[in-house]
Amino acid sequence: MTTVLPIVRASAIEIRDAAALIAAALHPQPLGAWLVPDEHHRGPVLTAWARIWTEHAFLWGHIHLHDTRTAVAVWLTHNRTTIAPVDYQRRLTNACGPHLHRFQILDELLDSTRPTEPHHHLVFLATHPDHQGAGHANTLLRHHEPGSLPAWSQAISPAGIRLLTKHGFVGRDPVALPDDAGQIAPMWRPTQTAPDAQGPCSNQQR
Q: Amino acid letter at 132? A: Q
- Asked if residue 200 lies in contact with residue 133, where contact means CB atoms within 8 angstroms, the answer is yes
Predicted model pTM: 0.87
Q: What is the pLDDT of residues 64-86, one digit of tens each?
A: 999 899 999 999 988 866 678 99
Q: How far apart are CA 132 and CA 159, in angstroms?
A: 11
Query: Which CATH superfamily groups domain 7-189?
Result: Gcn5-related N-acetyltransferase (GNAT) (3.40.630.30)
DSSP 39-88: HHHHHHHHHHHHHHHHHHHHHHEEEEEETTSSEEEEEEEESTT--PPTTH
Q: Which amino acid is at 50?
A: A
Q: How confident is the model at residue 178 (pLDDT cuts 50, 70, 90)?
A: confident
Whose CA is closest to 191, among 171, 174, 168, 166? 168
Q: Does the structure show a pLDDT above 50 at 201?
A: no
Average pLDDT score, the chain = 87
96-127 pLDDT, tens per residue?
999 999 999 999 999 888 888 889 999 999 99
